[in-house]
Amino acid sequence: MAANPMSQFDVYRIGPEIKVGAFDISFTNASLFMIISTVSILLIFNLGSKKNSILPNKIQLLAELSYTFVSKMISDTAGSKAKPYFAFIFSLFMFVLFCNMFGMIPYTFTVTSHIIVTFVLAAFIFIGVTVIGFIKHGFGYLKLFVPSGVPAVLLPLIVVIEIISYLSRPISLSVRLFANMMAGHTMMKVFGGFVISLGIVGGWLPLSFSVALTGLEILVAFLQAYVFAILTCIYLNDALNLHH
Amino acid sequence: MVKKIYLHLIFLSFFLIKEAFAAESGGMPQLNPEFWVSQIFWLVLTFGIMYLVLSKLILPKISNNLESRKSQILENIEAAEKQREDSETKLKEYDQIILKSKTEANSMFNQAREKAIKDINAKRDVLDKQIDEEISKAEEEIQALRNNAPDKINKIAIDTSSELLQKLIGAEVNNSSISAIVDDLSRRNGDKYYGN
């Protein structure tokens, strides 16, 4: 198991096989870590919002700082119109962040290192943003694909490029997070494998790399959650405030 | 029909991907569709529940907490501002009271001084008058004395001369002739004796 750096991404059943019709919805290690992440988010934010003291304690401060951080991020990128979607973006950011961070603990499973999870999130965002755009602007939302100030000759080409870039949003969004998580964890596993294979004599160098990589990966875990949330805000901004 | 073909193609491609990666010592477990449905199901379930709890229960509370803290801080700042203004007005009042009492004290002092000066002046006037009166009286007396002095002296001189002559000669001398001589002498030497 330790020899293969990809085996950390294995999904395996915990408990019995559960089938609904043709679909297998068994409880797996991925489900376990989704539940751990969501429960810890709910626990922390519940504790952080329970008491309302003028001088907040540590957990209240944490909850309120996260709240203002996400709130500021949304208002900076998508303006005040995006306020109804605050709860969703907050949940998204926290979910991705906690899944990433739990993945940093040894022997855990990283939920966001699976393309299907990130793709479902990204597809939901893509569809939701598109629906919001059409509800807000009707067919005027299609003007998104026609940038202003482009010469008429180039227009067909630009429109095609814009449509392709719009349609590739869910793919780029999901692959960015998934690939970052997978690459980081694989690299850490590879360096960890070097520590074992080089032994007590030569293992120190990959060990120090591993330590540095852990720091880097924690940064990446935060950064990717931030990027995921802020790109969602930018897409939302396109749908809410049609700038073209 | 077309849909069915599409589905077949998708499943085939999944199968191919799986086979391709399975050949390379396990490959990427991410591309193994065995648990995709399970992952989607659990993702939707956990994320949905988390979203609902956060949006309905927790986030409004945090927002409420932040708002109430903000408003309380604003209230406190306002109260502090009000108290500061109060203290400023009180300070002004205090300053005015001090100024008023100062001017009062000044005026009282001035009044007292004027009164004292007046009293002194009045007393001095009275004293001056008394002194003047006494001086004029004394001067009158002196004048009177001075006016009377030559006559008296003349008389004394005449009497003494007549007595002297009587004792020397033993005969009564005519007073009128003596007085004529004394008058004459005193007129001649009067300046020497009185300094007139």
Residue at B3 is within a domain? no
Residue at B123 is within a domain? yes
Q: Which two tokens stand for residue A179?
A: 């690939």
What percent of chain A is predicted at pLDDT more than 90?
63
Q: At what angle do helices A86-103 and B59-169 cross, to 10 degrees?
A: 100
What percent of chain B is predicted at pLDDT more than 90?
49
Provide the pLDDT for residue B23: 40
**Contact residues, chain A, for B38 at CB < 8 Å:** 11, 23-28, 30-31
Cα dist from B84 to B37, B77, B92, whole Å: 67, 10, 12
Provide the pLDDT for residue B174: 73
Query: Residue B112: which pLDDT band, with cuts at 50, 70 and 90?
Result: very high
Residue from the list B32, B43, B66 with its beta carbon closest to the beta carbon of A64: B66
Q: At what angle do helices A29-50 and B36-53 cross, to 10 degrees?
A: 10
What is the distance between the alpha carbons of residues A84 and A88, in angstroms, rounded to a whole number?
Answer: 9
More confident site: B11 or A209: A209
Span of A175-179, B1-5, B52-56, B101-105 with lowest mean pLDDT = B1-5
Q: End-to-end distance of chain A based on CA atoms, in angstroms?
A: 53
Give yes or no for residue B20 having a pLDDT over 50: no
- How many structural domains are present in chain B? 1
Cα dist from B30 to A92, A98, A192, B18, B22, whole Å: 21, 20, 21, 10, 12
Provide the pLDDT for residue B3: 57
Instruction: List the one residue out of A104, A20, A92 whose CA is nearest residue A236.
Output: A92
Instruction: List the one residue out of A62, A165, A179, A211 whose CA is nearest residue A112.
Output: A179
What percent of chain A is predicted at pLDDT more than 70?
98
Mutate to test the interface with B, among A18, A20, A34 (most CBs of B within 10 A): A34
DSSP state of A114: S
Query: Residue B90: which pLDDT band, with cuts at 50, 70 and 90?
Result: very high
What is the distance between the alpha carbons of residues A210 and A215, in angstroms, rounded to a whole number?
Answer: 9
Give yes or no for residue B17 having a pLDDT over 50: no
Residue at B107 is within a domain? yes
Amino acid in position A134: F
Span of A21-30, A164-173, A229-238, B20-29 with lowest mean pLDDT = B20-29
Residue at B16 is within a domain? no
Q: With an 8 Å Cβ cutoff, is A102 touching chain B?
A: no
Q: Residues A231, A72: contact at Cβ < 8 Å?
A: no
Q: Residues B196, B190: contact at Cβ < 8 Å?
A: yes
What is the distance between the alpha carbons of residues B196 and B192, in angstroms, rounded to a whole number?
Answer: 8
DSSP state of A13: B
Give yes or no for residue B153 having a pLDDT over 90: no
Mean pLDDT of A23-28: 89
Residue from the list A10, A63, A91 with its beta carbon closest to the beta carbon of B29: A10
Give yes or no for residue A164 having a pLDDT over 80: yes
Task: Please state, rounded to an integer, the average pLDDT across all residues of chain A.
Answer: 90
Query: Residue A23: which pLDDT band, with cuts at 50, 70 and 90?
Result: confident
CA distance A113 to chain B (A): 8
Give yes or no for residue B59 having a pLDDT over 80: yes
CA distance A216 to chain B (A): 23
Provide the pLDDT for residue B33: 82
User: Left, alpha or beta for A21 (phi > 0: left; psi -120 to 50: alpha)?
Assistant: left
Provide the pLDDT for residue B4: 59
User: Left, alpha or beta for B99 (phi > 0: left; psi -120 to 50: alpha)?
Assistant: alpha
Give yes or no for residue B19 having a pLDDT over 50: no
Look at A34 and B43 and tell me if their CB atoms are within 8 Å. Answer: yes
Look at A30 and B35 and tell me if their CB atoms are within 8 Å. Answer: yes
More confident site: B138 or B155: B138
Residue B140 CA from chain centroid, whole number: 62
More confident site: B186 or A124: A124
Write phi, then psi, for A75 (nearest 5 degrees).
-70, -30
Q: Is the ipTM of this complex over 0.95?
A: no
Residue at B23 is within a domain? no
Q: Which residue in the block uniquely carries the two structure tokens 């499973």?
A: A109
- pLDDT tens sequence across A48-95: 988 877 788 899 999 999 999 999 999 999 888 888 999 999 999 999
Q: With an 8 Å Cβ cutoff, is A125 touching chain B?
A: no
Residue at B2 is within a domain? no
Give yes or no for residue B1 having a pLDDT over 60: no
User: Concatenated DSSP letters for B126-147?
Assistant: HHHHHHHHHHHHHHHHHHHHHH
Span of A139-148, A232-241, B78-87, B111-120 with lowest mean pLDDT = A139-148
Mutate to test the interface with B, among A49, A59, A93, A98 (most CBs of B within 10 A): A49
Provide the pLDDT for residue A242: 81
Domain coverage including residue B68: 32-194
Q: Residues B31, A39: contact at Cβ < 8 Å?
A: no
**Contact residues, chain B, for A11 at CB < 8 Å:** 29, 32, 34-35, 38-39
Q: Which residue in the block uniquely carries the two structure tokens 């630009």?
A: A158
Q: With an 8 Å Cβ cutoff, is B143 touching chain A?
A: no
pTM of this prediction exceeds 0.90? no
* Number of CB pairs, chain A paired with chain B, less than 8 A apart: 132
Give yes or no for residue B13 having a pLDDT over 80: no
